[in-house]
Amino acid sequence: MKPEIKVWFVWKAFPLPECYVGEMTKIHWSVKNISRVNIEFTTDEGYSWQPIASNISGSSEDLNWQIPNTPSSQCYIAAYDSKNPLIRDVWDYNFWIYPTVTSVEDILIHEFRLEQNFPNPFNPTTTITYSIPEISHVQLIVYDVLGTEVSTLVNEVKATGNYEVKFSADGLSSGIYFYKLQTQEAQRKVCRRLQSGNQKQSSKSLII
């Protein structure tokens, strides 16, 4: 009989694919003619894989797994024959690993906000603050006046809360730059202008 393997797991909020760092979940699998299996997961759609368990009994058919501190919206799990990695199964459903909400303040954020950087103008470092009202994959990117990306400041899943990030224009020409905050889930975008150098510029914002 041809060896076969199938893997899956049920998250706490099924059918919503939400897992939180530190939570316990159970991974399940079934095998035919396979004695030992390896379990692994990816946070980047399969470009790289990290081990969960290695060379465990195929007949045990389940494993308790504590969600690791690797927030991402592009997670998958896989299982394969320990002796033959080509006999492999990746579960069809992608899931999310969210950071853990740690304070009441995190929960009380009601607005999607991107504040004007301070100081502005700046030379060479400034601080950008923003607020996220719900757990989301967040991107904060700086562009020059031609629309060319010069720096990605944030590109990860963030819990509800207030955040600040430093931007350094060291190595960049003095002038006007724009920074954009976007959340993947809500498709919200906010852009603001910042000035590198000593000439004072007025602040503008654009909500799309």
pLDDT for 205: 31
pLDDT at 12: 55
Q: Write down which residue in 69, 98, 127 finishes a domain.
A: 98
Domain boundary among 98, 131, 146: 98
Residue 189: give the domain boundaries. Answer: 104-207
Q: Look up residue 106 and give its amino acid.
A: D
CA-to-CA separations, 104 to 82, 100, 116, in angstroms, rounded: 45, 12, 25
Whether this prediction's pTM lies above 0.75 is answered by no
Pairing of strands 113-114, 149-158: unpaired
| CATH number of the domain that residue 115 is part of | 2.60.40.1930
Q: pLDDT digit string (tens) for 2-50?
A: 788 888 876 554 444 668 888 888 899 999 999 999 999 998 888 899 9
- What per-residue confidence (pLDDT) applies to 42? 93
159/129 same-domain check: yes
For 114-158, the pLDDT digits (tens) are 888 888 778 888 888 888 887 788 888 888 878 888 899 999 888
What is the three-class DSSP state of 168? strand
Residue 22 backbone phi and psi in degrees, to 5: 95, -15
Last residue of a domain, one of 57, 82, 98: 98
Task: Identify the three-state secondary structure at position 60.
Answer: helix
Residue type, position 51, single letter: P
